[in-house]
């Protein structure tokens, strides 16, 4: 059976993606680091809608945890494989660079960029052997245009875009696509402290996006209909930046 793995799948955009992929018939592995209650709520929403899912706890920024968690799952599912990977896990620690501490820089880079590397590297071999796979990386508007006070976050997301384009060239001949989705302002925990009335004046669509709208795009990229799309970065930002 072909599974989908969503890192950082317990809340926000990650939760919406898990629900969307489950609605498409894929059993979903909901990765989370520490918030088991939120992860269980995501699983409950999936099962109540008739889908299938499992929890998979590990910190994407710690290579040993990634390897052990995925190896344990694979040993328990010898007939199954993870054919869809959504690298969604990410954190923000915003501040001006002049005030930024080493930990603020390293933790953001470790979660977004190293997390992508550790999990993707571990799963590529299975996709190559099956000659089938979808890798979807959650980038950001900040990675495309930069954002003041987010040099760490912008750097991590920009690097993720570069890795997306490179990996797409490496494995495209094996029928594996690699794409990035770059959301703008989306209604999640990450933006709950923003003054939406101020920001939406800059957005041609006049509002923040919804997690379900991002999930719909991810669902398309995970589908057979997107088999000829790879190495792309698709923005979903209400026209804020093109």
The residues carrying an active-site annotation are 153
Give the contacts of 27 (CB within 8 A, at least 6 positions apart).
Answer: 1, 3, 4, 51, 52, 53, 54
**Calpha distance 145→68 (Å, rounded):** 36
Structure tokens at 161: 């875009």
Q: What is the DSSP string of 70-115?
A: HHHHHHH-TT-EEEEEEE---------GGG--HHHHHHHHIIIIIH
Cα atoms in the 13 Å half-sphere on the side-chain side of 224: 3
Its sign, for the CA torsion 54, 58, 61, 67, is negative
Three-class SS state of 205: coil
> Could you tell me if 174 and 131 are in contact, meaning their C-beta atoms sit under 8 angstroms apart?
yes
Closest CA to 125 of 133, 117, 115: 133
């Amino acid at each position: 059976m072909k599974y989908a793995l969503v890192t950082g799948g317990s809340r926000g955009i990650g939760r919406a993606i898990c629900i969307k992929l489950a609605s498409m018939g894929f059993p979903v592995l909901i990765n989370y680091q520490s918030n088991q209650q939120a992860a269980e709520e995501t699983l409950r929403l999936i099962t109540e809608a008739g889908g299938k899912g499992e929890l998979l706890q590990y910190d994407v920024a710690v290579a040993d945890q990634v390897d052990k968690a995925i190896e344990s799952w694979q040993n328990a599912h010898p007939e199954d494989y993870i054919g869809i990977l959504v690298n969604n896990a990410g954190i923000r620690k915003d501040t001006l660079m002049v005030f930024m501490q080493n930990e603020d820089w390293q933790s953001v880079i470790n979660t977004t960029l190293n997390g992508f590397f550790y999990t993707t590297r571990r799963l590529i071999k299975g996709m190559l052997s099956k000659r089938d796979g979808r890798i979807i990386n959650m980038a950001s508007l900040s990675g495309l245009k930069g954002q003041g006070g987010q040099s760490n976050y912008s750097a991590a997301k920009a690097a993720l875009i570069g890795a997306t384009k490179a990996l797409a060239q490496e494995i495209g001949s094996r029928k594996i696509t690699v794409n990035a989705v770059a959301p703008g302002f989306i209604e999640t925990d990450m933006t709950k402290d923003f003054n939406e009335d101020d920001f939406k004046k800059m957005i041609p669509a006049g509002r923040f996006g919804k997690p379900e709208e991002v999930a719909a795009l991810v669902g398309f990229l995970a589908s057979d209909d997107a088999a000829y799309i790879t190495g792309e970065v698709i923005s979903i930002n209400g026209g804020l930046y093109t």
